[in-house]
A and B are shown apart, each in its own frame.
Chain A
Amino acid sequence: AQSVAQPEDQVNVAEGNPLTVKCTYSVSGNPYLFWYVQYPNRGLQFLLKYITGDNLVKGSYGFEAEFNKSQTSFHLKKPSALVSDSALYFCAVRSNTGNQFYFGTGTSLTVIP
């Protein structure tokens, strides 16, 4: 069975500090991994993805994520958080053998001024 876990419903971080939003996955076959961000009353927006190659991928707005195959994790990171980063973040996985995406339950990030 394919699944995604985001163990933290809420993450609070001070502005200027580094942030991490955690994601672990379970998928048959090779995983394609994605991070999305959702602002209030909006649809999800794509941030970054891992398909193959370097384990550290860089995306929009200064975000990056590290793929760790042995730990089946794909944590989202940013070196210095901004208040405008406050939003809901979703991790998603897709198997290389299927058409469906599987989403985590989301992590609400609050950056405190």
Chain B
Amino acid sequence: DAGITQSPRHKVTETGTPVTLRCHQTENHRYMYWYRQDPGHGLRLIHYSYGVKDTDKGEVSDGYSVSRSKTEDFLLTLESATSSQTSVYFCAITDRGLVYEQYFGPGTRLTVT
């Protein structure tokens, strides 16, 4: 988890409210990713970023948006939270190049009631 922090670590929110999760890195890595982890599904990619203001969708992007205005910060926003978005969310970073492994943050447990 070194060099990557996520905030908040736990959040309970109500259906229909907006929620923003923050990932902050001190490693100056180019690539940043948001995943959700659910039982039986493993990790599924929501969105990723390959540079400041450069983002792309993953396999489960519906209902989520992202922004990256600085190298060190990658924000995930649920515009109107739904119960199906109750999950554990992980941020990950990768060094430049395709052969490098990812390093993961500690996760954010989000509950939508």
Contact = CB atoms under 8 A, between A and B. Distances in A.
B74 interface: no
Interface string A91-113: 01010100111111110000000
Contact of A94 (B35, B44, B98, B105): B98
B111 to A, nearest CB: 15
Contact of A32 (B31, B98, B107): B98
Given A32-B99, A96-B98, A105-B40, A44 B45 contact: no
B105 to A, nearest CB: 5
Contacts of B42: 6, 90, 103-106
Contact of A46 (B31, B50, B102, B106): B102
A46 B106 CA distance: 14
Looking at chain B's contact residues, the main secondary structure is strand
Q: Chain A interface secondary structure, helix, strand, loop or mixed? A: strand
Interface string B82-110: 00000000101000001101111111000
Interface residues of B, number: 26
A42 B1 contact: yes
A45 B102 CA distance: 8
A6 B45 CA distance: 17
A101 B106 CA distance: 18
Contact of A90 (B43, B45, B58, B105): B43
A103 to B, nearest CB: 4
A49 B45 CA distance: 20
